[in-house]
Amino acid sequence: SLFRKAVFHTTVANLHDLPGDSICEVAFAGRSNAGKSSAINALANHTRLAFVSKTPGRTQHLNYFTLDAGKYFVDLPGYGFAKAPEEIRAQWEGLLAPYLSYRLPLAGLVLIMDCRHPLTDLDLQMLEWFAQTGKPIHVLLSKSDKLTRQEQANVLREVESALSRISERCTLQLFSSLKRTGIDEAERVLANWLDM
């Protein structure tokens, strides 16, 4: 699998520290507790991989993981935790916004949303903002094991309709790290973006 060989590479706190050898990378975003770390760990089939990003001093930064020579995935800081507004603004303006806007090797954004609470205000801001880059967005509706089949179908339809209004380049799927469902589908999208 694509993520099988993933290893932690580096933590980036400043724009000028972004890896210079990246050919292609994908970024993972989502609100805190959405299940982003679990999803990354499930994709990598590695129970601790993304928890590197949760160690003190790394939570507010970009955490790079190597997939293959010159190919990376980037774990972005989770958003939505009660932080001082000026802190959030400084981080957004200093690092995240320029990274998401101008990072040439960035092929696309994976946005993780808890399927029981999708499309929060901050998710919508992220989606609408990143859609302006013209790059693709793939949404993982996480923790899908928490819903019945009927509820899964409903949330998929509702979120799909909201996404279609935001960008033509949005795709989505259900995902469960716990049950390990949706992994192949997510890998196909990422392999395509990363040309792997």
* Contacts with ligand GDP, residue ranges (CB under 6 A): 30, 32-38, 78, 142-143, 145-146, 176-178
Exposure string for 169-194, b = 16+ CB within 10 A, e = fewer:
bbebbbbbbeeeebbeebbebbeebb
Q: How far is the CB of 87 from ligand GDP (least distance, A)?
A: 18
First to last CA, the chain: 10
Q: How many angstroms separate the CA atoms of 175 and 114, rounded?
A: 9
Q: For ligand GDP, give the closer residue by CB, 89 or 179.
A: 179
Q: How far is the CB of 34 from ligand GDP (least distance, A)?
A: 4
> H/E element holding 128?
helix 121-131
Amino acid symbol at 164: S
Q: How far is the CB of 42 from ligand GDP (least distance, A)?
A: 7
Q: For ligand GDP, give the closer residue by CB, 38 or 63.
A: 38
Q: For ligand GDP, give the closer residue by CB, 4 or 179.
A: 179
Q: For ligand GDP, give the closer residue by CB, 24 or 139.
A: 139
Q: How many angstroms separate the CA atoms of 160 and 138, rounded?
A: 11
Q: How far is the CB of 53 from ligand GDP (least distance, A)?
A: 8
